[in-house]
Amino acid sequence: MKRTYQLHIEGKNRDRLFDAARHDIRRYQQRERRRPVPEGFDFWDFDCRFGADEASAEKVAVGELSALITALTQDGTDAFYVELVARAAKRSERPPTAHVRAAQTSAAFLDAED
């Protein structure tokens, strides 16, 4: 999805246009995530670019998108550009958190005592 959202349209409320743009972006993500994932992959990830226009768009994390839109629109900008491209990805194993490591250490210690 490559799209420039206008926030100043005659006869329409700016806040409604802002909400409609955010809803459209979320709807696109949901629709893409429903597609079947190719074999060998686990989920759909998104490459995202965001900016005031296409020429100034920079790569950003998808999770930051909502906050960036809010910040840009509070500056009084009349339009913003969003590019979301879905790509299949494979989950990497997370390193254990401190809580999990402590539990594993305790279990290993208890097994060693037996």
Taking the whole predicted model, whether its pTM rises above 0.85 is answered as: no
CA dihedral 2, 59, 50, 83 (to 10 degrees): 10
Return the minimum-mean-pLDDT range out of 10-14, 29-33, 95-99. Answer: 95-99
- Percentage of the chain with pLDDT > 90? 60
For the chain, what are the domain ranges? 2-113
Rounded to an integer, the average pLDDT of 52-75 is 90
The Cα angle at residue 34 between residues 33 and 39, in degrees rounded to 5: 80
- What are 31-46's pLDDT values in tens digits? 999 999 999 999 999 9
CB 52 within 8 A of CB 80: yes
